[in-house]
Amino acid sequence: MATKPAKPAAKSETNKAKKDEAPKAAKSPAKAAAVPPAKKVNAALAKPLKPSNELAAVVGKDPLPRTEVVSKVWEYIRNHNLQNPENKREILADDKLKAVFGKDKVTMFEMNKLFSAHLS
């Protein structure tokens, strides 16, 4: 029968010796609770833009940030029941929105793209 070689000293014993030899670092003073950084607002989205006459018929003539324009158009769509009941992602344009979109139906994703031609 073969005998197993002797095991080296346990690692914990050697680590303890190393720790005793190393100088202890002084604890740094407790830091105040970290304040999370404020969210940065995209300046391009927050800049007020003047709507065209066609878009102003829906959102008003005052300059608005792009985010507010989208919100007001969605409010108009809901108030006038212009979402396709079978496909809620599709907007069925009335006369005012046809002037903005240039067609009878648009998807909610197309809608945002079409606004850029009406904002300056």
- Other beta carbons less than 10 A from residue 118's beta carbon: 20
State the pLDDT at residue 25. Answer: 60
Cβ distance 83 to 77 under 8 Å?
yes
Mean pLDDT by 10 residues, the chain (120 residues): 65 58 60 68 83 96 94 96 96 96 95 92
Task: Determine the length of the chain.
Answer: 120
pTM confidence score: 0.64
State the pLDDT at residue 27. Answer: 62
Cβ distance 102 to 116 under 8 Å?
no
Radius of gyration of the chain (CA): 33
Pick from 87, 88, 101: nearest CA to 58: 101
Domains of the chain: 43-118 (1.10.245.10)
State the pLDDT at residue 11. Answer: 61
Q: How far apart are CA 100 and CA 120, in angstroms?
A: 14
